[in-house]
Structure 1
């Protein structure tokens, strides 16, 4: 028997166990579901037995799968630590990561990612540039930030953009609103409503930039800094909103408001980490991006890693 076992096999087992299903695991590994299923079948054919109990939900490890998962838990962290140590030798362990953001909901996932990153790189000065910034990339130019979390890549900027993740933006209405009975929200549905959003310019608001402005619709506006305040206003029929699905998932589970797709094609947003090209290859910068993607994949429902 050929006993070759690769790291990608262990990553597959770990992702399937953590995610509890093929769809979520494929997102974490940045694979299609068919590619992940094929990889798992190859691994099971290699060993000649099943590694998961297919009928269980979430997926449950077989005894052989449990043994491989135990190996993955020991080997994968050790490999990551070793690669990190070698990178420290190559690039040096000290530096700074001052992170600026242009999205209000970014703080929900940025703080856990930073908490995960900090003990791995204790010599790196880690900080969040306080406040919301309409032009976080500009802070990098002025040496006031090292990383900017942005929703679009600007090809005119001399920056390297690390892709993070893609997410759906859903329309939110009160449960007893007439629009709640629809299968989706179209641009015209916003015309007579008050759009409640974070206090940001229209060209930075996905629903305006991608849907309403092209349709020539300019709804009345109201703003709030807090997600929960926006949802309270929506629930009390003061207006409608468009927010990331992952950010409002806990409220949707409690049926606090009703969520609807925006247009038949659905509305999506993307996030990137922008850094100066001279810093993009630094080990701690790359590891920070990897940490962000891993923590977000584990905690934000419905996102798709880029």
Structure 2
């Protein structure tokens, strides 16, 4: 304070201290609130990596619901990490990995989300539309339209064609599901997609859907999560919503 001043007045040094306090104290209070939220499980980070290309079809509705319930959780999707997703999880660069291929990893739990069926999709006028189901040999003369990922990450290859040692006549890679379906409807090729993707085309006269093999093929999708994060309330909520939304789409 300025000596012998009435009323008391802050000195230049005091004014600087006051200005600094006005800047710092709100930041300290915000940090205290953030720590309190972290301890209570109401705030945090949810960065997701996806190994399943078609998972965007059901993941976005899940995240929309999650955002409304947990507005203070930072949500992000990292599709660019798809092929290094599990190492990124171990490095704590992401918090959840959607995958159909569980592995034994230290400190990581693969939580079951839901089962699904890879489904053959073709034009209504395609010759294979006459069959009640398709087998590996049926792909020999076909152009197979797939997502642009490694063969081993595609169900049609890992579960059907590779074990049978069958090679399609051609492979055409397409990024978007809507474009895949457009090409299939135009009889430019055939595709195999998860059942939650083909829920709408099942009722369209432009397409036919058939099971793979007489028994059908069933796959399971998992969420890989660090075990230390499984106790977080918002993590449990996201896992629950993911399973519910996928089953809703499958039953539509």
- Fold shared per TM-score above 0.5: yes
Residue 253 (structure 1) aligned with residue 203 (structure 2): yes
Asked whether the 8 Å contact 1:99–1:147 carries over to 2, the reply is: yes
Number of positions where the alignment pairs a residue of Structure 1 with one of Structure 2: 215
Q: Which moved more, 1:261-270 or 1:134-143?
A: 134-143
Query: What's 1:201 paired with?
Result: 150
Of 133, 156, 159 in structure 1, the residue corresponding to residue 108 of structure 2 is: 159
User: In 1, Cα distance between the equivalents of 2:81 and 2:58?
Assistant: 15
Asked whether the 8 Å contact 2:121–2:193 carries over to 1, the reply is: yes
Of 44, 47, 64 in structure 2, the residue corresponding to residue 115 of structure 1 is: 64
User: In 2, Cα distance between the equivalents of 1:138 and 1:151?
Assistant: 16
Residue 145 (structure 1) aligned with residue 79 (structure 2): no
Q: 1:209-234 CA deviation, whole Å, 9 max, x = no partner?
A: 11110101121211101111111222
Aligned with 2:163: secondary structure? coil
Tell me how far 1:244 sits from its aligned partner. Answer: 1.1
Gaps of 5+ in 1: 1-87
Asked whether the 8 Å contact 2:146–2:173 carries over to 1, the reply is: yes
Query: What's 1:182 paired with?
Result: 131
Aligned with 1:133: secondary structure? helix
Aligned with 1:105: secondary structure? helix
Residue 291 (structure 1) aligned with residue 237 (structure 2): no
Tell me how far 1:91 sits from its aligned partner. Answer: 4.3
- 5 Å matches for 1:275-290? 275-290=225-240
Query: What's 1:59 paired with?
Result: none
Asked whether the 8 Å contact 1:173–1:259 carries over to 2, the reply is: yes
- 5 Å matches for 1:1-306? 91-131=40-80, 133-156=82-105, 158-219=107-168, 220-298=170-248, 300-302=249-251
Tell me how far 1:132 sits from its aligned partner. Answer: 6.5
Gaps of 5+ in 2: 1-36
- Measured at CA, do residues 105 and 230 of structure 1 come closer, stay the same or move farther in structure 2, by a change above 3 Å? same
Asked whether the 8 Å contact 2:107–2:228 carries over to 1, the reply is: no
- Measured at CA, do residues 253 and 157 of structure 1 come closer, stay the same or move farther in structure 2, by a change above 3 Å? farther
Tell me how far 1:106 sits from its aligned partner. Answer: 1.1
CA RMSD of aligned residues (A): 2.0
Asked whether the 8 Å contact 1:134–1:200 carries over to 2, the reply is: no
Asked whether the 8 Å contact 1:136–1:150 carries over to 2, the reply is: no
Q: TM-score, normalised by structure 2?
A: 0.79
Asked whether the 8 Å contact 1:170–1:261 carries over to 2, the reply is: yes
Q: TM-score, normalised by structure 1?
A: 0.66
* Structure possessing the higher radius of gyration over alpha carbons: 2
Q: 1:57-114 CA deviation, whole Å, 9 max, x = no partner?
A: xxxxxxxxxxxxxxxxxxxxxxxxxxxxxxx797432210001111222112111111
Aligned with 1:249: secondary structure? coil
Tell me how far 1:236 sits from its aligned partner. Answer: 2.0
